[in-house]
Chain A
Amino acid sequence: MIRWWLALVLALAALPLAAQDTMPPAPYAYNQLSDPKLEAEASALMHTLRCLKCQSQSIADSDAPMAGDMRHQVRSRILAGESPEQIRSWLIARYGDYVSYEPEVSSTTWPLFAIPVLVILIVAGVLLRRLGRRRSDDDNAGEAA
């Protein structure tokens, strides 16, 4: 949505610098795997991998040539029998956590998982405070407040 009219303005400014190549895309950049089950696996994975040349898009949503080449890698590796998680870790080994939209619990990402737990606790606390203790006094104290 607005990400584009905002986000692409800079990308646009940089665009004339990085002219596009004219090469045809890699075989699996724009072609699906014939096995629907494998294609579904590949597609699910591609939606969670970040296009390195774009402003926050997954490689499944991008026309950037590099995104096409990454899609080719994903599909051909799936076809060769690799699991989606193997491919993800192959890419993470090369580009770090940045390439994956699916953060894994690690020394750098634990707060992403710890804070929601904290939020759940706070939510439980607030709800108990606001709703829990009212039972006993709502009949007599209710109107007095």
Chain B
Amino acid sequence: MGKPHKVKLKSMDIVKTDNLVFEYIRRDDEGNPTGVTTALDHVNIDVRQGEFVGILGHNGSGKSTFAKHLNAILYPTEGTVIVNGMNTTDEDKLWDVRSSAGMVFQNPDNQIIGQVVEEDVGFGPENLGVPTKEIWSRVEESLRAVGMLEHRLKSPGKLSGGQKQRVSIAGVLAMHPKCIILDEPTAMLDPSGRREVVRAIRGLNDVEKMTVILITHYMDEVVHADRIFVMDKGKVVMQGTPREIFSEVPALEALRLDVPGPTRIAWELKRKGLPLPDGILTCEELITEIEKCR
């Protein structure tokens, strides 16, 4: 009886890093080494199937470097990264790792390969050797999942930033990955584009039950996450549910992270003596709690 149980547990963890360390050698203009930078310092992050995990951190905190490890673009200096039961350093499994962990990058212009939206979404499945007929059905379902089906015949140049990013997400979805890693997908977008993309990402998690790892420095994007990891200087400095994390306003501010508006207001009110609970996340919550105080 013990064996199947163990297998089941293993398959629950889509991503697991064990004491992940990544170092690179800094070089001057002539290429002489000047020192070693530790970009990731003993990082332990595990993500279970169907979870929405947020990874927060300001620039240079190592969050993008971490993302690149999950897709075998970078390899650990020390420790291991297990994706869908496969070690990312296993060269025979390289393409299996990459197709299980789909990656969406920051700049939409630099990751759209096709000249027509639907062709770009079909690029991943084409690379995986999926039969033509199935490519078409995958393209259709992926575009529908991000709400871009009506733009399928447009040229990517004609789309807005938020739409381009949704196409990129569809392109990854069409590969049928086990999880999607989004590396600051909204950093180059305007507020309305950001909302669009965040809504699409939440939809994937809620409706399609897709495991999502969202890497960002906008805290309001991860309010609905199941768990949050906060990174600073290559280390995981905080982890927990959004409520737990956002209760620690001073700690977050020390890490130069912006706390979402309602949380911040609630915290200030509480400091001034209003009996509010910790970790208020949304406006609605804040309103109900204030009403209770009357």
Please determine whether chains A and B interact with each other in the same assembly.
no
